[in-house]
Amino acid sequence: MGESAIGVIRVSGPDAIATVAPLLRPPSSLPDFPSHTLRRVGVLDPKSGALLDEALCAVMRAPRSSTGEDVVELSCHGSPAALRLITLRIVEHGARLATPGEFTRRAFLNGRLDLAQAEAVALLISARTDRAVTLAARALAGGLSEHVRVVWSALVDLIGGLEVALDFPEEHVGHDCVTARATVTRLRGDVQRWLASARHGRVVHEGLTIALVGPPNAGKSSLLNALLGHDRAIVSPVAGTTRDVVEGTLVLDGVPVRLLDTAGIDVARDEIEAEGIRRSRRAMEESDLLLVVLDGSILPSATVLAETAGRARLLVRAKSDLPAHRAAAALPDAVAASIVAAGGLDALRECLLREVERRATAAGDEGGIVASLRQIGLLQALHAALAASDTALGEAPLEAALVDLREALAHAGAILGLDVGDAILDHIFSTFCLGK
């Protein structure tokens, strides 16, 4: 914890006002504070009566607070020592330190947020680009929740109608299978679109990892430095200079892109070089895209081309300012790149931008969503259950379709936080930072 202009201490719970009041000057004033109003207060040490700080205090009374409980916030000066001391005195008067994510968890348990919105808090905190912030803020405002709640309500109505039709087959009440199947087909399409959008949003949030791979001395490190705009990797005419994976990050189209410069893939001359090649192959496995960098002035490495075949890759004919080897010039779809010629990287940057856009854009950000991995897994399960119920409504007894529809309802409810267990909540909120 470092110095800052302001440090906020938040106390939440039914006894929040009574707990903080003895630290303020005068103590009797806090219960009379109007809700959602800032007041300047003195913060005292109850033991000695010494003034600890001059702060701004806000009381937010339940249920109109972030947690749905009484909340007191002290905006103090940002001295770590002063904040620690004031927090200690509050704890001595009956409070306890919050666990990671506890404020957001209380907001969920008290109905201020559904679980999809609660998870969006963590996504917003960890957002690294403008686009990621926009998508996470939309999720926090209920973007994903609204979509899923529509499906949940439709499934409740559908299941209820089908059960009535099953119980009273001769009364012609409830839903018939033809109408029900049309509804399920529509819901399947909606969920499929949201799932695709969530996957693209996940790329915007997490970013892409691109490994620069190739034979020794192909120009990978020089290319990394040029793309980053500063010297990150050591560049030398001596083959095998890079022995470990060197990484740097840039932002393309609002998406963080992690570039990995790897050791050249060749026959190892010693144990250290062999370890570098092993790490290169491990980086290849972890990457979303490979930039296969080949020295365009010499015969391309058949080993590198064979090892990267079948992977998502972009061939780069580096050192394109030199006379091209005819075998290298004949490589299909290879992008010419040079770090010394004017505009020598423009074509490569355009190709990288297209790759990022393809992976991270789904009908534009205007309708995009971002979801946690848990939510994406539940959306996949929801889509599968809807597909199974669609098939069952056309081929199987109605009872079988109802089993699949109830499973779909359970998955939709789990996204919203309906009937989820403590173990799931513990797992979700354990990843939050303190103070949220």
Task: Write out pLDDT tens, residues 291-333.
Answer: 999 888 888 888 888 888 888 999 998 888 888 888 876 777 8
pLDDT at 277: 83
Percent of the chain with pLDDT over 90: 42
218 against 386, higher pLDDT: 386
pLDDT at 229: 85
Work out the pLDDT band at 381, boundaries 50, 70, 90. very high
Q: Is residue 310 left, alpha or beta, with left meaning phi > 0 and alpha meaning psi from -120 to 50?
A: left
119 with 372: CB under 8 angstroms?
yes
Taking residues 355-364, report their average pLDDT: 72
Q: How open is the CA angle 246-343-207, to the nearest 5 degrees?
A: 40
For each of the domains in the chain, give its residue range(s) and CATH number, in order of start.
4-97 (3.30.1360.120), 207-340 (3.40.50.300)
413 against 263, higher pLDDT: 413
Which of 113-117, 124-128, 204-208: highest mean pLDDT?
113-117
What is the Cα Rg of the chain in Å?
29
How is residue 386 written in tokens? 């809807």
DSSP state of 334: P
Say whether pLDDT at 238 is over 60.
no
pLDDT at 363: 44
DSSP E strands: which ranges in 300-382?
313-318, 335-336
- For residue range 267-287, list pLDDT tens digits in order: 777 787 788 888 888 988 888
Residue 105 to residues 98, 121, 124, 245, 434: CA-CA distances in angstroms? Answer: 11, 11, 16, 39, 12
251 with 352: CB under 8 angstroms?
no
Taking residues 107-130, report their average pLDDT: 91
435 with 182: CB under 8 angstroms?
no
Model confidence, pTM: 0.76
Say whether pLDDT at 51 is over 80.
yes
